[in-house]
Amino acid sequence: MNTLISQQITQRIADISASLPNTVRLIAVSKTVPSEFIRTAYNAGIRDFAESRIQETISKQAELQDLTDITWHLIGHLQINKAKKALQIFQWIHSVDSLALAQRLNTLAFQIGVHPHICLQVKILPDDNKYGWIIPELLSDLSSLNECQYLKIQGLMTIPPLGLENSQILNVFNSTRELGATINSQNWSNISIEELSMGMSGDYLMAVAAGATMVRLGTTLFGQRS
């Protein structure tokens, strides 16, 4: 592949990794990016890659079979009828956005014999363009989610609405952390929010300031998606 692009990706990964606290996991969002770029990022030390589509992920995994220690993260909306496939190819699902999806994943996880890591996707502010729970609905679904014993429910994922001021974005991230603390204070047996998956290329510095433990970076590592 193009050496210049490869050097750029390597340099960006080095710079951003060095700037992040070591409590923060850098997840490279590789959706739409060719698998050679994933290989470059892997050689630069990245082991966590995020995708948003099932079929695209299957193709890339086939091309990267020799890289056996990659952790694959799903970050896009998951239709219930693709839940089984998702469990077969992703170790983390950040975009669990409804009780019905969680319950289906739980049943399938039992059948397949996997224990997926799960983030619950929350909308801190109203946003018609996004999936996810609003806070009161998430709180009232927790007792049912707690029954999903084959899921490792251990994180919250959020994406702020478009068009906010920086101070409002920071508020969204801080509120997400506080929501995690509220959930943990309820002492659920099967839900413990240890991960905050928040922060994309444009806002990850604010997310890190608010306590993100996973940042999902695409553009800033790989360049603009076509």
Ligand X SMILES: *Cc1c(COP(=O)(O)O)cnc(C)c1O
Q: Which residues bind ligand X (CB under 6 A)?
A: 29, 31, 52, 75-76, 159, 200-202, 216-220
Name the residue nearer to ligand X (CB basis): 182 or 219.
219
Rounded (10°) angle between helices 3-19 and 35-43: 50
CB of 84 to ligand X, least distance (A): 22
Name the helix (H) or strand (E) containing 105.
Answer: helix 99-112
Q: Distance between CA 198 and CA 9 in Å, rounded?
A: 22
Q: Distance between CA 168 and CA 198 in Å, rounded?
A: 14
Name the residue nearer to ligand X (CB basis): 78 or 150.
78
CB of 216 to ligand X, least distance (A): 4
Name the residue nearer to ligand X (CB basis): 17 or 220.
220
Q: Is 27 exposed, middle or buried (0-12, 13-18, 19+ CB in 10 A)?
A: buried
CB of 32 to ligand X, least distance (A): 9
What residues have CB less than 8 Å from 223, skipping those under 6 apart?
5, 8
Name the residue nearer to ligand X (CB basis): 175 or 220.
220
Q: Distance between CA 128 and CA 38 in Å, rounded?
A: 32
Name the residue nearer to ligand X (CB basis): 150 or 176.
176
What residues have CB less than 8 Å from 164, skipping those under 6 apart?
125, 172
Residue nearest to ligand X (CB): 218
Write the DSSP symbol of residue 200: -
> What are the backbone angles phi and psi of residue 214, rounded to the nearest 5°?
-140, 125
CB of 56 to ligand X, least distance (A): 12
CB of 220 to ligand X, least distance (A): 6
Q: Residue 106: which of 140, 77, 149, 54 has the closest Cα?
A: 149
Name the residue nearer to ligand X (CB basis): 31 or 85.
31
CB of 96 to ligand X, least distance (A): 12
